A and B are shown apart, each in its own frame.
Chain A
Amino acid sequence: MSKYYVNKFLFTVDRDPEYLKRYIEDPRSFVATWEQSIGPKLLGNEMEASTVHVLTDKEREALINHDFVALFEIGAHFFLNLTLFIGIYDAPYMAKSGPLSFQREFAAKLQHWLELDYPSIAT
């Protein structure tokens, strides 16, 4: 398990409009590209490779499927997990069902955690 690497994915994609576009259009292909050539760069120094982290199969599938429930359950950071998927789904949900409809659906899909201790976000 690499919560850090999942968070690194969410962080690097959320901050880059081109990555975000590719992750919306073809998540499977983009996640493969990310693992091959984006994730392994040391942040802040593109010359340097970072060889430490890899995604598990479960983490990879969660990212490919835009599965924010699975990402919550993995312990991805709540802010990154919310912000990135708002970036992807807020506008289409808004057009169809009005303001905050995506955010409310996000919450509804996590109702089984309501009375439980949430998965730890500590890395």
Chain B
Amino acid sequence: MAKLVATLASTHHPFYLKATTAPPDQQMPQAPEWKRKIEAYRETLAKTKPDVLVMVGSDHFHQIFLDNCPQFLIGKASRYDATFYNEEREFGIPKYLLEGDEDMSRFMHQSLMDQNFDFAFSNELKIDHSIICPIITVRPDNDLPVVPIYTNIFAPPLHSPRRFYDLGRAIRKAIDDYPSDKRVAAIGTGHLSLELGGPRQFMETGPDPVFDRQAIEWLRAGDIDAILANVTHQSMEKSGNATHGFLNFILMLGVAGPEGADYVDNLDLFHTMEAYFTWYPKEQAA
């Protein structure tokens, strides 16, 4: 059976590449520290020597729109183009071509359906920055095949935090059951408190620093009970209108299981708290 070797959950900041590759005299003051933190985080993946990446993200109205809007979707293709024109325009993110793993996508789709998750699928999926940002940060060589999974964190109504956690558990089971000797890493991105297009956007900190610090401690401890007792759609809305990206962190904790994280780091940037978590599976007793 396939072996999950690491679960990574992080924020995705579309300006990382631009911020850290601008000429030094034009860089923001935090750029060198940001780069050091990202390179350290990258090593938490590299040391596990994965063969394939299950990538969890959320399309930002690039391919998916309100005329046809799935809650959960899996890509099933041999390759995926990435980066849309308006992402190049706004964030300076280049185009990418990612290899797919159709066999694993097919297996996972069936497994998730069998576990009562009604997944939509796409045989021609173009990937946006929710999945390209972590490629840029933790696997910039882009040398591994991916299985992309999209969640709706954007167009209400959204699934509950509990449903996101349960989906993470189901994704974990699908990986564990996959008949292959491959080493699998699961990587998902979202946000802590975040405001976009509202009165609290682009402040000196994220819109709710208290939530940010609490969320980091919950994830550090793997405390899903505290998360589910405290985080609701209403509470996320109060923390910032785009805070629902935290649902993907809850999903990734589901993939890892309710365990303390093995690696935790964060960086207080203008307008967001960046956060980076890695879990390594505990070895099963023989």
Q: A52-84 vs B: 1/0 string, CB under 8 Å? A: 000000000000000010001000011111110
Given A44, A82, A111, which contacts B199 in the complex, CB threshold below 8 Å?
A: A111
Return the chain B residue nearest A116 by Cβ: B199
Q: How far is the CA of A42 from the CA of B65 in the complex (A)?
A: 12
Q: B147-182 vs A: 1/0 string, CB under 8 Å? A: 000000011110000000000000000000000000
Return the chain B residue nearest A85 by Cβ: B197
Given B67, B89, B156, B200, which contacts A107 in the complex, CB threshold below 8 Å?
A: B200
In the complex, chain B residues 192-245 whose Cβ is within 8 Å of any chain A Cβ: 196-203, 237, 241-242
Count of residues in A whose CB is under 8 Å from the partner chain: 39
In the complex, chain B residues 259-284 whose Cβ is within 8 Å of any chain A Cβ: 270
Does A121 make an interface contact (CB < 8 A)? yes
B154 contacts A100, C-beta separation under 8 Å: no
Return the chain A residue nearest B203 by Cβ: A107
A15 contacts B199, C-beta separation under 8 Å: no
Q: How far is the CA of A10 from the CA of B134 in the complex (A)?
A: 27
Q: How far is the CB of A89 from chain B (nearest CB, A)?
A: 12
Q: How far is the CA of A120 from the CA of B196 in the complex (A)?
A: 14
Does A28 make an interface contact (CB < 8 A)? no
Count of residues in B whose CB is under 8 Å from the partner chain: 28
Contact A107-B157, Cβ < 8 Å, known A4-B66, A15-B86, A87-B89: no
B199 contact set on A, CB distance < 8 A: 107-108, 110-114
Given B61, B157, B200, B201, which contacts A122 in the complex, CB threshold below 8 Å?
A: B157
A118 contacts B198, C-beta separation under 8 Å: yes
Contact A77-B61, Cβ < 8 Å, known A83-B90, A86-B90, A106-B201: yes
A79 contacts B154, C-beta separation under 8 Å: yes
Given B86, B200, B270, which contacts A114 in the complex, CB threshold below 8 Å?
A: B200
Contact A87-B86, Cβ < 8 Å, known A43-B65, A123-B155: yes
B62 contacts A15, C-beta separation under 8 Å: yes
A114 contact set on B, CB distance < 8 A: 199-200
Return the chain A residue nearest B234 by Cβ: A117
Contact A106-B197, Cβ < 8 Å, known A11-B61, A79-B61, A87-B86: yes
B196 contacts A43, C-beta separation under 8 Å: no
Does B96 make an interface contact (CB < 8 A)? no
Given A14-B86, A17-B85, A118-B198: 5 more A-B contacts, CB < 8 Å = A82-B201, A104-B202, A106-B197, A123-B66, A123-B155
The 3 A-B residue pairs with the shortest CB-CB distance in the complex, in nearest-first order: A78-B197, A82-B197, A110-B199
A-B contact pairs, 21 of them (CB 8 A): A4-B66, A11-B66, A15-B62, A15-B84, A15-B85, A68-B197, A78-B241, A78-B242, A79-B61, A82-B197, A87-B89, A106-B197, A107-B198, A107-B200, A107-B201, A110-B198, A112-B199, A113-B199, A118-B198, A118-B237, A118-B241
Chain A positions within 8 Å of B, measured between CB atoms, are 4, 7-8, 11, 14-17, 42-44, 68, 72, 77-83, 86-87, 90, 100, 103-104, 106-108, 110-114, 118, 120-123
